């Protein structure tokens, strides 16, 4: 699967890229650079940042910045339309107020905003609340 993702996005398959991609695949929520560093055994920071940049520019991952939070990264879904640096997803970014994790939540359709005099090329919807894991009463 890792190899297929990299090849589909025209990225060279390397052991390090597979290792970084594996960290994303193991998490169902968005992760920080620190989370990635913690998951790697031995790495060069420059190589990691170049890998993240390549993954972002090719549409393997996308950045999420929630107000008051550090930048997080999440896998793009298989149908992500990546063109000219824009990622098109039908999802919202949801941050849990209890565990503080950020999730990409698929929705059927994004609302279409119309702002007179402006052309909207990209929109991002952020929501906060309680995630399904934290809402389970134990």
pLDDT digits (tens, 9 = 90+) for 87-138: 666 788 999 999 999 998 888 877 888 899 999 887 788 999 999 999 885 5
Task: Provide the pairing of β-strand 126-129 with 91-96.
Answer: parallel
pTM recorded for the entire structure: 0.80
DSSP 111-133: -----TT--------EEEE--HH
Domain boundaries, the chain: 2-135
Are the CB atoms for 126 and 92 separated by under 8 Å?
yes
Binding-site annotation: residue ranges: 96, 99, 131, 134
> 2-135 has which fold?
Arc Repressor Mutant, subunit A (1.10.10)
Binding-site annotation: residue ranges for Zn(2+): 96, 99, 131, 134
pLDDT digits (tens, 9 = 90+) for 12-38: 999 999 999 999 999 999 999 999 999
Residue 56, Cβ density class (10 Å: 0-12 exposed, 13-18 middle, ≥19 buried): middle
* Gap between the Cα atoms of 77 and 114, Å rounded: 26
Ordered alpha helix ranges (H), the chain: 2-8, 15-25, 33-39, 45-57, 132-135
Token pair belonging to 106: 């698929």
């Amino acid at each position: 699967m890792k190899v297929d993702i990299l090849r589909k996005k025209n990225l060279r398959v390397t052991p390090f890229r597979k290792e970084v991609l594996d960290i994303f695949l193991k998490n169902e929520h968005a992760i920080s650079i620190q989370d990635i560093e913690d998951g790697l055994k031995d790495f060069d920071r420059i190589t990691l940042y170049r890998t993240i940049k390549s993954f972002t520019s090719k549409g393997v991952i996308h950045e999420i910045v929630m107000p008051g939070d550090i930048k997080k990264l999440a896998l793009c879904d298989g149908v992500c339309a990546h063109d000219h640096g824009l990622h098109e997803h039908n999802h919202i970014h949801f941050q849990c107020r209890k565990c503080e994790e950020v999730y990409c939540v698929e929705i059927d359709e994004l609302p279409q905003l119309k702002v007179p005099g402006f052309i909207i090329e990209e929109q991002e919807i952020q929501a906060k609340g309680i995630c399904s894991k934290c809402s389970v009463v134990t």
